[in-house]
Chains A and B, each alone.
Chain A
Amino acid sequence: MALAIDPLIRLTGISKVFHTEEVETHALSGVDLDIRAGQYVAVCGPSGCGKTSLLSLLGLLDSPSEGSYVLAGEPVSTLSPSQRARVRARAIGFIFQAFNLIGDLTVFENVELRLRYRGMPAAERRGAAHEALERVGMLHRLQHYPAQLSGGQQQRVAVARAVAGKPLVLLADEPTGNLDSASGSAVMTLLRELHEGGATIVVVTHDPRYLREAQRSVYLYDGRVVPAASVDREVA
């Protein structure tokens, strides 16, 4: 999964401003961030600090108001919505806090959905989905629906969906937030194994236990990247 291009992700002077009627909210201001291929990065900070906005920009769910975003050597900050959708399908795997599996689709169909959007041929798609599900230990539940699975199992399927087809980067938003501690640990172990296999992972988390899993932590405060010590001071 690791790529020779270094850094894999480069954010330069990124700002994100939301306009709601008369109010202007600065979610991110002047964020500079490099993430190398194969790195395991944890993003943390207090509520409202801009973690979700940063993840949205990294995952090309949104575009920045200012600044540049280069992914694997390609500038992506000015892509159209449909171009961004294509890059998401090809290069980015998402793991959500609420699992976000689609209830009408089976485990297998959920995992292959992103590959279908990518336009991957059926045989290749089937192989990649099976491989991903085997990796998370869910191959025996191919034809089950999400409602028939426990929370931990659903999140493992969500991980499989994210890694299927080997995206360039995995983005996880509080992946253990809706899980009990045992299931949470299992998911974090899974992420660690993926990282050891060469995956680039960016995880947003509040849980200090999981911060230690990451090679590197990025602290956000009021939409800016700040040193860890300053966050501690503010929180204190």
Chain B
Amino acid sequence: MLTSLRYAVRSLRRSPTLVGAVVGTLALCIGAATAVFSVVYAVLFRPLPFADPDGVLLVREVWRGSPGSMSAGNWADIKREGGLFQHLVPMQAASVNLAGADLPENVTGARVGADFFTMLGVAPALGRSFLPEEDRPGSDGVVVLSDGLWRRRFGADPAIVGRDIRIDGAPRRVIGVMPRALDYTVYGEELWVPVAFTPERLAEHDEHYLLVLGRLRPGVALAQVQPELDRLARSLRETFPEDNAERELAATRLHEELVRDYRPRLFILLGAVGFVLLIACANIANLLLARATARARETAIRAAIGAGRGHLLRHALAETLVLAAAGGALGVLAAYWGVAGLVAIGPEDVPRLALARVDAPVLGFVFLLTLLSGLIFGLAPATRMAAQLPQDSLKEGGRSATAGRRDRLRSALVVGEIALALVLLTGAGLLIRSAVALDDVHAGFDPRGVLVARVSLPAIGYDTPERSEQSFARIAERLEQAPGVTAAGLVSSAPFEDGSSNGLIPEGRSFDLASSIQADLRLVTPGYFQTMGIRLLRGRAFTAEDRAGAPLVMVINETLARQAWPGEDPIGKRVACCEPGPDGSPSWKVVVGVVADVRARGIGEAPPPEFYLPMAQAPAAAWHWIDRTMTLAVRTQGDPVTLTGAMRDAVWGVDRSLPVYAIGTMDDRRIASLASSRFSTMLLTVFGGIALLLAAIGVYGVISYGVTQRTQEIGIRVALGAGQGRVLRLVVGHAAALTAAGLALGLAGALLLSRFLGNLLYQVSPTDPPTLAAGIVVLSLVALSAAVLPARRAARVDPAVALRAE
């Protein structure tokens, strides 16, 4: 085989153009496929950095079919009664402020149960993890750092263990640093502190804010879990009917849960790039078939002097192997750039995207892909060569009797290319139309000229609701007075930020969970609606008079108004929510205004029911729900970024230790909310474009080759009186027939496969006729244009020269 490979290299060196075309095409397509696979592998398949990662489950409450968070009380009861779990650990995201020598910094952390790392099966690289006694109020002043934070913030100081650092204004002792391998759990958190529930918290069953991770006892199968969770859910419903009515429990593998939303999108991209590679392989197979035909005589000679089919096959496959290996090797290089590019432009919300790299599993994929590509494009030419008749060696011209069959195969390959290209073009077209539709959607607010930032108040110094409210109110005042600010307001979660929700009971309905409406809660200051450009539809917005002690009021959005009082005027209606009133009676709030719906969960998502409460009247518990974190928003006439300094000054004028983080314009956030959709659209459009180009090259190759093969025939036709128009029609007609067959096949494929895009489309049907028609028209024009050049060459055939040459 080595000799065959040596001969193959030597033989290919004499065809640099062919080698360049084949290797270049392969490198580009294998590189693209590998880059996409690297992302797919990193996000979907790279095991989570835990021991036996498949054994880590996410246990969730499910209310009316929607999975959600768990209350501390429910967690404690399940942990106590659930015998199947070896560990059942609560986890809560925490936005924490790190004090520093220069600027304070806000980082994402997590409050976790003491056995969190034991459950994950990860040992610290430095120090130790939590002790059970540290998971209690009063003795929880410890912290474990991630490798990333330790390096970035503390210069990888090995003496960090045992030192105190200030987190949210309080000192915490660093007890350990996790290894670099623990790159991701759930929130991308950079530090962990004990959750340290108070007995009061552990008794609460009505606040659902915990993620619960579990690991089963050895020998327990996943199938045993759901019946056990059903039993526990029943028990919770019976024991705490008010808080747990209609509430179920469910467990899924954590990894599945983390990547569920990204799986279809990534698989579609992988499929699309696979199609591009297939089209490329068809083109290369066509080139190699032409080469095999050109070398038919040499093959016949080899057969004549004793080469068996095996020898001929090996000889042909050796060339294929060399081409594929060169393409694969260059493809790896292309993939390095491709991965870097995808990570750079990829949406930020895709978990573990940053881990995408060309590593051993990806190289294994490249190896298999290269082998597979080589087989796909090399098998047909190789088997043709192996079937070469030895007696052709005795013929002067070496022309084979199988030329017709070869042409049919080449034509079939082009038909396949056109079909695949149409599928890709249709997919890209659908996503483009969907992206255009999304761009046209009014988000319900006016993002132009608005700058936002987050501020989190630490527990130390802000331990009462009044202190939190007063501090944020002072920040709001300062923002309003800042030069250049036309409006300023605060909100507990701006559009596209995670927030909290509550059950509301409109007056007149019975006081049970079944009658409640789950709606998103936003605490706002009076200037918020004007700052964000949210239209007031009825009633009034909040004013400074809506303060503590004044009648409790709320503003609702259109969706909530329709759900709570269909066909009625909601102004003046009363709603119970969020907290008990005095002496345990319902806390009624009067609806004073209705505002326009805001697509707060994403431009493509239906607006949820929402209600707004004045920050000054926030229920005491709400400060805990929102982790004492508010988003500041300012509007200006000019470039909002110029207000960054003013925003920081407003905060630091109240408390110099508070970090101002997540600063950005609402315009940027709106664009970021569409990033996933745009990312898929852009990649699919690029792949569609490449497919179109490759299909055009394929059509050109086959028609051009056909013209060369039929030069004598065309010469005879011209000699017999065929005009240029007739010859042009003959050649272009062949291209049209191939294109029509490809389009018919592609249309069927597009109708079959575009339904997989359904979840990614917005206001566009997967079988959108204009998109399908556009794909057909574009592909037809491109394919026929590709046939024009060889057709004109055919029309210029000089019959005398053609016949003499033969």
Q: What residues make up the interface of A, taking CB atoms closer than 8 Å to B?
A: 52, 55-56, 59, 61-62, 81-82, 85-86, 88-90, 92, 94, 96-98, 100, 102-105, 109, 113-114, 116-118, 161, 173
Which B residues are within 8 Å of any A CB, using their own CB? 3, 7, 10-11, 14, 297-298, 301-311, 389-391, 393-394, 396
The closest CB in chain B to the CB of A114 belongs to: B305
**Closest residue of B by beta carbon distance from A104:** B11
Distance A89 CA – B311 CA, assembled complex (angstroms): 12
Apart from A92-B306, A117-B306, A161-B305: 13 A-B pairs, beta carbons within 8 A = A59-B304, A61-B303, A86-B308, A88-B305, A88-B306, A89-B306, A96-B394, A97-B396, A100-B304, A102-B301, A105-B7, A116-B3, A117-B311
Task: Report chain A residues within 8 Å CB of B303.
Answer: 61, 85
In the assembly, what is the distance between CA of A100 and CA of B394, in Å? 9
B305 touches A61 (CB 8 A): no
Within the complex, the shortest CB–CB distance from A27 to chain B, in Å, comes to: 11
Q: Give every chain A residue within 8 A of B393 (Cβ-Cβ).
A: 61, 94, 96, 100
Using CB atoms, name the residue of chain B closest to A115. B306
Chain A residues, Cβ within 8 Å of B309: 81-82, 85
Smallest CB separation, B345 vs chain A (Å): 45
Closest to A162 in B: B305
Could you tell me if A104 and B14 are in contact, using CB atoms closer than 8 angstroms? Answer: yes
A96 and B398 CA atoms in complex are apart in Å by 13
Bound complex: CA of A117 vs CA of B309, how far in Å? Answer: 11
Bound CA–CA A70/B7 (angstroms): 36
Given the complex of chains A and B, what is the CA–CA distance between A33 and B759 in angstroms? Answer: 78
C-alpha gap A62/B396 in the complex (Å): 17
Residues of A within 8 A of B306 (CB): 85-86, 88-90, 92, 114, 117-118
Q: Is the CB of A61 within 8 A of B301?
A: no
Q: In the complex, A103→B297 CA distance in Å?
A: 11
Report B-chain residues with C-beta under 8 Å of the C-beta of A82: 308-310
Q: Which of B7, B302, B391 has the largest number of chain A CB atoms within 10 A?
A: B391
Query: Looking at the complex, which one of B389, B391, B396 makes contact with A98 (CB distance below 8 Å)?
Result: B396
Chain A residues, CB < 8 A from B311: 85, 117
Complex Cα distance, B302 from A56, in Å, reads: 15
A85 and B308 form a contact (CB under 8 A): yes
Q: A98-B396, A104-B11, A105-B7 are in contact. Are A117 and B305 (CB under 8 A)?
A: yes
Q: Can you list 14 A-B contacts (CB < 8 A)?
A: A55-B394, A56-B391, A56-B394, A59-B304, A61-B303, A61-B391, A81-B309, A85-B303, A85-B390, A97-B396, A103-B298, A104-B14, A117-B306, A118-B306
Give the distance in Å from the alpha carbon of A117 to the alpha carbon of B310 in the complex. 10
Contact of B307 with A52 in the complex, beta carbons under 8 Å: no
Nearest 6 CB-CB pairs, A to B?
A89-B306, A85-B308, A117-B306, A61-B391, A61-B390, A104-B11
Chain A's closest residue to B301 (CB) is: A100
Q: How many A-B residue pairs have CB under 8 A?
A: 77
Return the contact of A173 from the options B301, B305, B308, B394 (Cβ within 8 A).
Answer: B394
- A85-B303, A98-B396, A102-B302 known; A117+B391 contact, CB < 8 A: no
Give Cα A105 to B393, complex, Å: 17
CB distance from A216 to the nearest CB of B (A): 22
The residues of A that contact B10 with a CB separation of less than 8 Å are 104
Q: Of all chain A residues, which has the CB nearest B297? A: A100
Closest Cβ of chain B to A50, distance in Å, is 12
CA distance A96 to B392 in the complex (A): 12
Determine the residue in chain B with the shortest Cβ distance to A56: B391
User: In the complex, what residues of A have CB within 8 A of residue B11's CB?
Assistant: 104
Residue pair B302, A113 in contact (C-beta under 8 Å): yes
Q: How far is the CA of A61 from the CA of B391 in the complex (A)?
A: 5
B contact residues around A90 at 8 Å (CB)? 306
Which residues on the B side are within 8 Å of A52 (C-beta)?
Answer: 394
Task: Judge whether B304 and A61 touch: CB under 8 Å.
Answer: yes
B303 nearest in chain A by CB position: A85
Measured between beta carbons, the chain A residues less than 8 angstroms from B302 are 102, 113, 117
Q: Contact between A102 and B304 (Cβ–Cβ < 8 Å)?
A: no
Among residues of B, the one whose C-beta sits closest to the C-beta of A122 is B3
Other-chain residue from B298, B307, B389, B394 in contact with A117 (beta carbon distance below 8 A):
B307
Interchain nearest-CB distance for A103 vs B (Å): 8
B395 to chain A, nearest CB (A): 8
Within 8 Å CB of B308, what residues of A? Answer: 81-82, 85-86, 89, 117
Chain B residues with CB below 8 A from A113, complex form = 302, 305
Docked pose: A82 CA to B303 CA in angstroms: 10
Question: How many angstroms from the CA of A218 to the CA of B309 in the assembled complex?
Answer: 33
Residues from chain A with a CB closer than 8 A to the CB of B305 are 88-89, 94, 113-114, 117, 161
Q: Is the CB of B298 within 8 A of A85?
A: no
**What is the CA–CA distance of A161 and B301 in the complex, to the nearest angstrom?**
12
CA distance A169 to B303 in the complex (A): 17
Q: How far is the CA of A204 from the CA of B269 in the complex (A)?
A: 63
Residues of B within 8 A of A59 (CB): 304
Q: Which residues of chain B have C-beta atoms less than 8 A from A116's C-beta? A: 3
A90 CA to B310 CA in the complex, in Å? 16
What's the minimum C-beta distance from B728 to chain A, rounded to whole angstroms?
Answer: 29
| Chain B residues with CB below 8 A from A173, complex form | 394
CA distance A105 to B298 in the complex (A): 11
Whole-angstrom distance between the Cβ of A109 and the nearest chain B Cβ = 8
B282 to chain A, nearest CB (A): 27
State whether B307 touches A62 (Cβ < 8 A): no
Choose one: B14, B297, B307, B396; the contact of A85 (CB below 8 Å): B307
Nearest chain B residue, comparing its CB with the CB of A102: B298
- Complex CA distance for A14 and B140, rounded to whole angstroms: 102
Q: Taking CB as reference atom, which chain B residue is nearest A89?
A: B306
- Bound-state CA distance A117–B308 (Å) is 8
In the assembled complex, which residues on chain B have CB atoms less than 8 Å from the CB atom of A86?
Answer: 306, 308
CB–CB A62/B391 < 8 A = yes
A93 smallest CB distance to B (angstroms): 8
A82 to B396, CA, bound (A): 24
Complex formed: what's the CA distance from A28 to B636 in Å? Answer: 99
B7, B306, B389 — which one has the most chain A CB atoms within 10 A of its CB? B306
User: Which chain B residue has the least Cβ–Cβ distance from A113?
Assistant: B305
Residues of A within 8 A of B14 (CB): 103-104
Report the separation of the CA atoms of residues A110 and B306 in the bound assembly, to the nearest whole angstrom.
Answer: 13
B337 to chain A minimum Cβ distance, whole angstroms, is 35
Partner of B390, one of A88, A97, A103, A109: A88
A92 proximity list for chain B (CB < 8 A): 306
A106 to chain B, nearest CB (A): 9
Task: State A82–B306 Cα separation when bound (angstroms).
Answer: 9
In the complex, A31→B389 CA distance in Å? 23
Instruction: Determine the chain A residues whose CB is within 8 A of the CB of B396 once the complex forms.
Output: 97-98
Q: In chain B, what residue has the closest Cβ to A99?
A: B301
Residue of A90, A98, A105, A161 contacting most chain B CB atoms (<10 Å): A98
CB distance from A102 to the nearest CB of B (A): 6
- In the complex, the chain B residue whose C-beta lies closest to that of A116 is B3
CA distance A173 to B396 in the complex (A): 11
- Name the residue in B10, B303, B390 with the highest tally of chain A Cβ atoms < 10 Å from its Cβ: B390
A83, chain B: closest CB distance, angstroms: 9
When the two chains form their complex, are residues A88 and B304 in contact, meaning their CB atoms are under 8 A apart? yes
Give Cα distance in the complex from A100 to B7, angstroms: 17
Give complex CA distance A113, B307 in Å.
9
A90 → chain B closest CB, angstroms:
7
Whole-angstrom CA separation of A90 from B307 in the bound complex: 11
Residues of B with C-beta under 8 A to A105: 7
CB distance from B802 to the nearest CB of A (A): 23
Complex: A203 Cα to B301 Cα, angstroms = 18
Assess the B304–A94 pair: CB atoms within 8 A: yes
Query: Complex Cα distance A21/B135, Å?
Result: 90
Q: How far is the CA of A61 from the CA of B405 in the complex (A)?
A: 22
Q: How close is B13's CB to chain A, nearest CB, in angstroms?
A: 9
User: Which of chain A's residues has its CB closest to B12's CB?
Assistant: A104
Q: In whole angstroms, what is the CA distance A96 to B304 when docked?
A: 10
A116 to B305, CA, bound (A): 10
Query: What is the minimal beta-carbon distance from A51 to any residue of chain B, in angstroms?
Result: 10
Contacts of B389 in A (CB 8 A): 61-62
Tell me which residues across on chain B come within 8 A of A118, comparing CB atoms.
Answer: 306
Docked complex Cα distance between A105 and B394 (Å): 20
**Residue from A85, A92, A109 having most chain B Cβ neighbours under 10 A:** A85
